[in-house]
Structure 1
Amino acid sequence: MAIFDPVERESTPSIIAGKLRTAIGRGQIPAGSQLGETELAKELGVSRGPLREAMQRLTQEGLLISIRNRGLFVITMTEEEVRDMYVARTAVERAASELILQKNAQDVAGQLLRIVKSMKKAADKGDVDAMSEADMEYHSTLVAAAESPRLSRMHNTLLTETRMCLTALERRYPNPHARVEEHQAIADALAAGDQDLVGRLLITHMEDALERLTGGGHAAAATA
């Protein structure tokens, strides 16, 4: 009697969900948009079965909302939801950093510092898109390095919501090098093995981003 099932590659619904998640995060499918099954299935070259399963996953993650008799829509984040998202991100990233500090902090810090260099190059050029990509890579690398599947699953959804905020956030950083310095400081503290400092810097980093997003009082500024 076999003990294990055969190892399978990533399922089609999982791949579709990833594509939709990325498109939502990048604003290619804007907040508040309705998702049409027929159009999406045709564009993705898939049948409706795996597409529906993928959209159900995103509904469970909270990125899509089902409105009775109308269909599925991309969420529009309110100011309160943006605040809650940053609370969750802070908790996940602090937990990840604590795990990293127990094993391979120097290696992870080196990876993060290489990403910081990419951020600095993008900041020097004023390349907003490259800055955003490097920013997302930095935080996803941090959490992935903790090697906790549950933290990574939670963080993937939170980063998609963060991407929905980034366009608005970019406009609120008059000096893009300030973002570089914040990420540099976190990586340096990780390299030094200073758990308390890493935690404080992550909290400050998240609070700063949140303040820039919501300080103007525009509740839905994060839907960009």
Structure 2
Amino acid sequence: MRGWSPLGRGRVKLKKLQPVTRQSTETIVIENLRSFILSGEVPPGGRLTEAAMSEQLGVSRATLRLALHRLAGEGLLTQIPYTGWEVAQLSSRDVWEIWTLRGALEGLASRLVVMRDAPEVFATLEEAYAELESACARGNMRAITAADFALHQSIIQGADNARLSAQYRVVEQQVRLFIMTSNVHVATGPEDIIAQHVPLMEAFRRRDAAAAADAAWIHDETEGHRLMDWLIRTGVATPDQPKA
């Protein structure tokens, strides 16, 4: 047994190790700011000051501005000429456009997930839903919103349609802003957030493609209307969406 190794002879292939990637300072700042905005700690319309952010993040104003412009392109920030930046404030039309597009994409993805009938995809959805339940049980809103979006993102990924995924990425950050605003300001509590997803998960468990597509659309439509009603009721926005 001389020279025996439990790993065997020759070169060992470390399949489970992932390559280490270096992120640029700009990328780190973008991710940091995006996470901060989507945490709900700054209300819609809240002002962000370049000088304060630059000092707190420990980066130059030039690097910070690149990150701010990137987030503005994602629809998370608005630049106010000669004034500064503020967290995007959704209008009722914004919400209508987001939920109708989101509903179409997530409805199609839900149908494709069931049609694929891949056990590993359903297992991933169950894990994502369990994480949402766990976050709701803890009552941590940041974790709830992250788990909420992760569940919907799992549906898109589970459809295994590259072009659908690419279209979803175009509005992905605005969907996250939609979910955060709805969960923080509209939902009546964690139980409400869980209840919103029950019909969709039940359709997946029955492997009913048509019901899953309908449940996804109805979920996005219902929450879209609730969010629009809240915006109008609180005076944040006026009813400017097209008549459905």
TM score, norm. by length of structure 1: 0.77
Select 1:127's aligned residue among 119, 135, 139: 139
The question of 1:166 aligning with 2:178 is answered: no
Q: CA RMSD for the aligned pairs?
A: 2.9
For residue 186 of structure 2, give the secondary structure of its aligned residue in structure 1: helix
Q: Decide which of 31, 34, 56 is 1:21's aligned counterpart.
A: 34
Does the Cα contact within 8 Å between 1:66 and 1:73 map onto a contact in 2?
yes
Cα–Cα, structure 1 residues 19 and 66, in superposed 2: closer, same or farther, change >3 Å? same
State the secondary structure of the residue aligned to 2:42.
Answer: coil
1:96 offset after TM fit, Å?
3.1
Change (3 A) 1:140 1:68: same
In the alignment, structure 1 residue 90 sits paired with structure 2 residue 103: yes
Which of 63, 75, 83 aligns to 1:50? It is 63
Q: CA deviation at 1:192?
A: 4.5
Partner in structure 1 of residue 25 of structure 2: 12
* CA deviation after TM superposition for structure 1 residue 193, in Å: 4.1
> C-alpha distance in 2, partners of 1:56/1:136?
23
* 1:209 to 2:223 alignment: yes
Task: Please tell me the residue identity of whatever aligns with 1:108.
Answer: V
Task: Output aligned runs, 1:121-200, within 5 Å.
Answer: 121-123=134-136, 125=137, 127=139, 129=141, 130-146=143-159, 148=162, 150=166, 151-171=168-188, 176-177=190-191, 179-200=193-214
Contact 1:116 1:184 in 2 (8 A): no
Is the 2:183–2:193 contact (alpha carbons within 8 Å) kept by the matching residues of 1? no
Number of aligned residue pairs: give it: 211
| Residues 64-112 of structure 1: CA deviation (Å, up to 9, x unaligned) | 1122222222221122222222112212323433554454643222222
- Counterpart of 1:220, as a letter, is V
Larger radius of gyration: 2
Match of 2:236, as an amino acid?
A: A
Contact 1:24/1:164, CA 8 A, preserved across alignment: no
> Do the aligned partners of residues 95 and 214 (structure 1) sit closer, same or farther apart at CA in structure 2, a change above 3 Å counting?
same
Given that residues 25 and 162 in structure 1 are in contact (C-alpha distance below 8 angstroms), is that contact kept between their aligned partners in structure 2? no
Higher deviation after alignment, 10-19 or 126-135: 126-135
- 1:156 positional shift: 3.1
Q: Percent sequence identity over matched residues?
A: 26
Q: Secondary structure at the match of 2:40?
A: coil
> In structure 1, how many angstroms separate the alpha carbons of the residues matched to 2:62 and 2:159?
34
Q: Indicate if the aligned counterparts of 1:25 and 1:161 stay in contact, CA closer than 8 A.
A: no
Alpha-carbon displacement from aligned partner over 1:153-195 (angstroms, at most 9, x marks no partner): 4323321332123211223x6xx54543442432343354433
